Amino acid sequence: MNALIVATHNGSELFATPGRPTAPSWSPDGKVLVCALGRIAERIALVEVQVQSGAEREIGAWRWSNLDSIAWLPDGSGLMLTARDQSSQQTQVWYVAYPSGEAHRVTNDLNEYQGLSLNADAKAMVVVQTARDADLWVVPSGKPAEARAVTAGADRADGAYGISWTPDGKLVYGSNASGNRDIWLLDIARGTRNQLTADARQNYYPQVTPDGRSVLFLSDRGDKPGIWRMDIDGSNPRHLIAAQVLRFACSAGSGSSIRGWADSRGTGASGPCRSAAARPDG
């Protein structure tokens, strides 16, 4: 069981809540506890618990795919969060009005923000900012001195979210170049690249099928996250497996199949896994 536990001089008080409560934060008057409740990469809600009565209420209708930290404004009129919703792949700084739950993003960039804290009058905020840079390099076999970069750019994280060769020597990879976590196709010989996914939430860990005609990838688009398939040019996307998949593999041969491994608890953390299978052609 997951629970919020309040330790007092007389013992402990227990607030049992379904799901996984995290990032608890006291209201300035000490009467309310707010926490994140839900599963990472799915639908996390802000929940308040009235300490005296134990009554629980969701704060607003906004849902998050990750919620890292919560800090109250001194007058109790709102909350500052570091969180990620399904419109972005980065954890950003948010403001949520209390008690209405109306949410507004404060930052909107390619950095990550974590560990937020406010000073006494909330005129200053400290937060950890993380930036990720990654480029793709090609190294000829046995010739490390001839290594060369085939992509370059700040804050793009090229290849950090997966990379896969096509049979004809092109590269399919995940990147932040669009401002979102998307999948791209790079023609190394011509030096051209094409964006294969767009305006479809977060897309990552691409894998080209053995025949080179399709790309399998993970995405949180639609009602449930899982494994998707699209043609090599990005057309005809199709949902193959609906599950919180951690990784997957595609077998070669005429009887090709996909097997994905998912956390059986749906948290995206390490632990017991289950598997699901499908064919690349759906």
Percent of the chain with pLDDT over 90: 44
95: tokens are 């403001």
Q: Are residues 8 and 119 in the same domain?
A: yes
Average of per-residue pLDDT across 39-53: 80
CB 49 within 8 A of CB 4: yes
CB 208 within 8 A of CB 215: yes
Can you tell me the distance from the alpha carbon of 162 to that of 160, in angstroms, rounded to the nearest whole number?
6
Q: Which domain holds residue 84?
A: 3-130
- pLDDT of the residue at 200: 82
Q: Are residues 77 and 96 in the same domain?
A: yes
Domain boundary among 67, 98, 130: 130
Q: Are residues 36 and 83 in the same domain?
A: yes
Q: Are residues 123 and 142 in the same domain?
A: no
**Beta carbons within 10 angstroms of residue 8's beta carbon:** 8
Average of per-residue pLDDT across 270-280: 45
* pLDDT tens digits, one per residue of 84-141: 887 677 899 999 999 999 999 999 887 889 999 999 999 999 999 887 778 899 998 9
Split into its structural domains, the chain has a count of 2
- 195: domain CATH number? 2.120.10.30
Q: Are residues 109 and 180 in the same domain?
A: no
111: tokens are 């950095």
282: tokens are 């759906």
Distance of CA 257 to the CA centre of its chain: 26
Task: Write the CA distances from 120 to 3, 28, 73, 117, 271, integer angstroms.
Answer: 29, 10, 9, 10, 40
278 φ/ψ angles, rounded to the nearest 5 degrees: -160, 170
The model's confidence at residue 160, banded by pLDDT at 50, 70 and 90, is: confident
* Residue 277 confidence (pLDDT) above 60: no
105: tokens are 């993003």
Percent of the chain with pLDDT over 70: 77
- pLDDT of the residue at 57: 92
- pLDDT of the residue at 90: 80
Domain boundary among 98, 130, 162: 130
Average of per-residue pLDDT across 20-36: 89
The CA angle 7-9-11, to the nearest 5 degrees, is 55
Q: Are residues 58 and 144 in the same domain?
A: no
* Residue 182 confidence (pLDDT) above 50: yes
- pLDDT of the residue at 110: 75
3-class DSSP string for the chain? CCEEEEEECCEEEEEECCCCEEEEEECCCCCEEEEEECCCCCCEEEEEEECCCCCEEECCCCCECEEEEEEECCCCCEEEEEEECCCCCCCEEEEEECCCCCEEECCCCCCEEEEEEECCCCCCEEEEEECCCCCCEECCCCCHHHCEECCCCCCCCCCCCCEEECCCCCEEEEECCCCCCEEEEEECCCCEEEECCCCCCCEEEEEECCCCCEEEEEECCCCCCEEEEEECCCCCCEEEEECCEEEEEECCCCCCCEEEEEECCCCCCCCCEEEEEECCCC
* pLDDT tens digits, one per residue of 206-248: 999 888 999 999 988 876 678 899 999 999 999 887 776 666 7
Q: Are residues 141 and 125 in the same domain?
A: no
Whether pTM > 0.85 for this model: the answer is: no
Domain boundary among 90, 114, 130: 130
- pLDDT of the residue at 166: 95
Can you tell me the distance from the alpha carbon of 134 to that of 110, in angstroms, rounded to the nearest whole number?
13
Q: Are residues 25 and 98 in the same domain?
A: yes
Least-confidence region, from 48-62, 164-178, 182-196, 267-281: 267-281
Q: Are residues 206 and 250 in the same domain?
A: yes
* pLDDT tens digits, one per residue of 254-266: 445 565 554 433 3
* Residue 268 confidence (pLDDT) above 50: no
216: tokens are 């399998």
Q: What value does the mean pLDDT of the chain take?
A: 82
